[in-house]
Amino acid sequence: MSIFSRSPVRLSGWGALALASVLLLSSGCAGDYVARTRGVRSAYQQGDYSRALSSLEAAAKEGPEQDRLLVLMDKGMVLHAAGQWAESNAVLEEAERLSEQIDSVSVSEEAKTLVTNERQRTYRGEDFEKLMISVLQALNYAELGDDEAAMVEVRQVNERLEKMIAEEKKPYEQLAIARYLGGVIREDQRDWDSAYIDYAKAYEIAPRKDALAEPLLRLAKKVGRDDMYAELLAKYPDVPHEPLAPDEGQLVVVVEAGLSPEKQRGSRDPGGGGDLIEVPTYRNRGLAPPVSVALEGQSQQAVTVTSLADVAVVHLNDRIGRMLAKQLAGVAVKAGVAAGVGALTKSDELGVLTFLVLNAMNAPDLRSWLSLPAEFQVARFRVPAGNHTVRVTSWGQVTEHPVEVKPGRVGLLVLRRY
C-alpha cells in the first residue's frame, strides 16, 4: 500500500504518542565519531601529537559515552607514537578494562539496535583491535626496559588468539609481530630456546619469511636443533648468522607504517534474491611507506612482519554472517513495531510510515580504530656495543635517533611513519 494513496496523515492522541515513542527510541545515536575526529587524525599524521591530543579531548567532550573506548584507544596510540610510553600504557590499561566491561553484553542495548541500527550501540572494537591494545602495551613496556611486563602482554595476545582459533573456531592466525616481539624479548633475556620457538612461529606466518631467517639460523644452531638448522641452512645458504662477538649487540627497529584501513558502506545479498543489506567493508587508505633504516654503514629496507590491513579484513569478514542475521532479525522486529503502531492508531498509513522511518535509519557501524598503522615492519642490525645514531628515511623524510647498544643485548627502537 502506498502511503500517499490517501489524504495526509493527521497525528493526534495515540498516533502522535506512538510515533513520538518510535522517534525517541531511535534517538541518542552514537554519532559520527569518524567525522568528529578528522582534525585529530590530520594533526596526528603530521606528527603534531600535542594538537592531536587536545583535539581528541575536545571531540570526546562533544561525543556520546558509546565512543569512550575509541577515544581511549586513539589517545593511547597518539601517546605511543609520541614516545610517551608510560602515559600511553596508563590509557591503554583503562581501554582494556573498559573493553572487558563492554563485552558483558547489555541485553537492552542489543534489543535497541534491532529497532534502530548498530551505530547506537557502545563501540566494543573488532577482535584484532582488542589484541592490538596488548601489542602496543608490550611495545611500550619494552621501550621502558620492563621485559617481564612486555612478555605478560605478548602471552596475553597469543593466548587470546589461541582461544579464538581453537575454542571459538574463528579463522584467525597468530599475529607475527607479537611472536617476533616475544622472540626479541626472550633472546634479550638469554632464554635461547624459547626465543627460537617464538621466532619460528613468526617465521611461519610472516609474509616475508627470508627477513626472519637470521635469528632462526643462529639460535637453531646455538640450541642444538640440528634438523631445523640443516633445513634452514639449505633454504638460506647466503644469510650470515655467526654467533655474536663479546663486544657486539643487536638493535631491532620496529616501524609502525601507514594508515589502518577505514570502514565504508558495503552491501550483501544474503538470500540471493536481490534484497541488499548494508554492512561495513574495509577500504585501504593508501600504501604503507617504504622505510629505509641505516646504522653504522649498514642500510636495510624495513620488511613487513604483520599487515593489519589484511588482518582487519579477515576479522571483519568473520562477523559478516552474524551481522546479516541480526539485520534480518531487525527487519522483522521493525515490521512488528510498525504493525503495532498501525493497530494502536487504527492507521495503516502510520504503520507504513513507522516502518519506513525505522528502515531509513538502518546503517552499518563505520567506527574503527583509525590511528593504528597499516603494517608492522622491522629492520634488524648487529653492531659493536656503544652509542649509535639510527637514520630512518621514508617518503623523502629523514629522521635521526640516538640509541645505546649494549654487549650481548637486543635493543628495541619503535617508530611511527605515515
Residue 59 is predicted with a pLDDT of: 94
Those residues of the chain that have pLDDT short of 50 are 1-19, 21-30, 114-115
pTM over 0.75? The answer is yes
Residue 359 is predicted with a pLDDT of: 56
3-state helix, strand, coil in the chain (%, to 5): 55, 20, 30
Q: Which DSSP state fits 211?
A: G
Residue 385 is predicted with a pLDDT of: 98
Give residue-wise pLDDT tens across range 151-183.
Answer: 999 999 999 999 999 999 998 988 999 999 999
Burial group, residue 374, by CB count within 10 angstroms (0-12, 13-18, 19+): buried
The residues spanned by each domain of the chain are 106-416
Give residue-wise pLDDT tens across range 331-353.
Answer: 555 556 556 656 777 776 665 55
CB 239 within 8 A of CB 287: no
Separation of alpha carbons 168 and 266, rounded Å: 26
Residue 57 is predicted with a pLDDT of: 97
Considering only CA atoms, which of 77, 76, 62 is closest in space to residue 32? 62
Residue 27 is predicted with a pLDDT of: 44
CB 279 within 8 A of CB 268: yes
Residue 118 is predicted with a pLDDT of: 62
Residue 276 is predicted with a pLDDT of: 60
- Give pairs for 276-282: CB < 8 Å, separation 24+: 277/324, 277/327, 277/328, 278/327, 278/362, 278/363, 278/364, 279/320, 279/323, 279/324, 279/327, 279/364, 280/316, 280/364, 280/365, 280/366, 281/316, 282/309, 282/312, 282/313, 282/316
Strands across the sheet containing 298-301:
298-301, 291-295, 386-394, 397-405
What ranges in 2-143 are assigned the alpha helix state H? Answer: 14-25, 33-36, 38-45, 49-62, 68-81, 85-102, 107-115, 127-143
